[in-house]
Amino acid sequence: MIRNYFKIALRNLVNNKGFSAINIFGLAIGIACCLLITLYVTDELSYDRYHQKADRIYRLNLSVKFGGTEQAFATVSDMLGPVLKKDYPQVENYARLYDSGASLIKKAGTLNNIREEKILFADSSIFEVFTFPLVAGNPKLVLTEPNTIVLSESAAKRHFANQNPIGQILNLDNRKDYKITAIMRDVPQNSHFRADFLISMKSLNYDWNSVLSNNFQTYILLSKDANPKAFDGYFNQVIQKYVSPQLVKAIGSNIDELTKSGSYYRYSMIPMTDIHLKSKYSNELSINGDIQYVYIFSVVALFLLQI
């Protein structure tokens, strides 16, 4: 019986070559488009989920309205991470990143500069919060000393080829030398930020403890029993205790007076796994995607399947 079905189908294909070709070609194109869209959507939804503690990592954000102008930043004060860990037991750890911009990098004793862009200053706790496996070096010791640096495997190959980079010196912008203490695996492409060089935060020349100066990407790792929605309510306490006194010095008004005038100063946090598709803040470390495109392409894929 089945053999007869195949014979009939083959006979119809031969007798209706044009119509059959259109159907088969259309079906192939539709399935191919559907598969490509599925791969795109799957990749977009996978961002930052490779971290072992991804479900407990949140980035801190700042929203400000002053003088009728509203701004939203993916960066906060250098103080906020340490303050939250000190005052709230729900914060297991924190890690800060500071974007230093592009630099010219060369091996000490050479003249060959290579322009590099993926350079970040980082707390040593970055290896405790995020999952960035090391291929060389001790994660508990790296970035704990000033003037030290961690390279990705790709960066190590660019600058040292087949040499062992550990213990060697890199010079940035012909100004400062950094000792290489570890090599990490390349940050996966499905990450909302990528870095080839991580420099010890203790090396950063910065006006520390300025609560109104917001230049740090700050991530907190909540404890397993913490309630993220409940924790979000603590930011008002932080603002009253740390920000309000500085506002009085800076503009002569505390946070309550600022709020009554129609302005505001607010901290918030976003799950790290939502940053790539849902963050609308400025000062991102890289260009993010958009959840709307994921929805649109998903509908298109379903429509193609239905056809």
Residue with tokens 């949140």: 58
pLDDT, residue 283, reads 92
Residue 189 three-state SS: coil
Percent of the chain at pLDDT above 70? 95
Domain boundaries, the chain: 2-45, 101-203
What's the chain's average pLDDT? 92
Q: Does the pLDDT at position 17 exceed 80?
A: no
Query: DSSP secondary-structure letter at 173?
Result: T
Structure tokens at 70: 């509203």
pLDDT, residue 63, reads 96
* Confidence label for 305 from pLDDT (cuts 50, 70 and 90): confident
Burial class (CB in 10 A: 0-12, 13-18, 19+), 148: buried
- What would the pLDDT profile of 104-114 be if each residue is shown by its tens digit? 999 887 878 88
**Chain-centre distance for alpha carbon 167:** 28
pLDDT, residue 26, reads 80
pLDDT, residue 13, reads 63
Nearest Cα neighbor of 226 from 115, 97, 105, 89 is 89
- What would the pLDDT profile of 177-231 be if each residue is shown by its tens digit? 999 999 999 999 999 999 999 999 999 999 999 899 999 999 999 999 999 999 9
Amino acid identity at 153: E
Residue 196 three-state SS: coil
Note the pTM of the prediction, 2 decimals.
Answer: 0.90
Q: What is the DSSP string of 208-252?
A: -S-TT-EEEEEEEEE-TT--HHHHHTTHHHHIIIIIHHHHHHHHS
Nearest Cα neighbor of 118 from 75, 163, 144, 149 is 149
- Residues contacting 59, CB < 8 A, separation 6+: 74, 217, 218, 219, 269, 270, 272, 275
Nearest Cα neighbor of 185 from 135, 234, 140, 227 is 135
Residue 55 three-state SS: helix
